[in-house]
Amino acid sequence: METMKSNSGNDYTNEEHSPMLTSSSSSSSNSLLTFLNSHLNKNSTDDYEKISERFLTVFSTWDDREQLNFVENLLKRMHNHQHGQINSFLLPMLQRDFIGQLAARGLEHIAEKILGYLDDQSLISTELVCHDWYHVISSGINK
């Protein structure tokens, strides 16, 4: 069993876990590390980089349930302003182009129905969003 100490003196323990290292968890861990590094106070401890890398290495060995449990516990210990910074980081990752996805799956008729609630000026503006949206709107108008 490996034990790590945080700067506050708390012990963090890594019991044996099955390695579930995937490119997505590694990628999201690296993104989180980049985000945290960019928002750190310039007076961070000298060994921060080394300790945080060790935590991420251990984190990457856990399965999804263990990772989620750890992140939930971590979030509970953070302040509201930190939650806001994390929210700003996560929002772009969680946004989905469902109109484009419907069109890509051959469900243009559903996308057309959704966009059909828009007025003419909004439809003109919406055509400029991307190629998929333009295609859905122009094919819906031609029917």
Domains, in order of start, for the chain: 2-94 (no CATH), 98-141 (1.20.1280.50)
pLDDT tens-digit map of 88-97:
989 888 888 8
Rounded CA separation 125/10 (Å): 55
Q: What angle do CA 37, 6, 34 make, to 5 degrees?
A: 15
Rounded CA separation 60/108 (Å): 39
Residues 6+ apart with CB under 8 A from 94: none
pLDDT tens-digit map of 27-53:
555 666 666 666 555 556 778 888 999
Rounded CA separation 30/38 (Å): 12
For residues 61-69, average pLDDT: 97
Element (H, E) at 3: strand 2-5
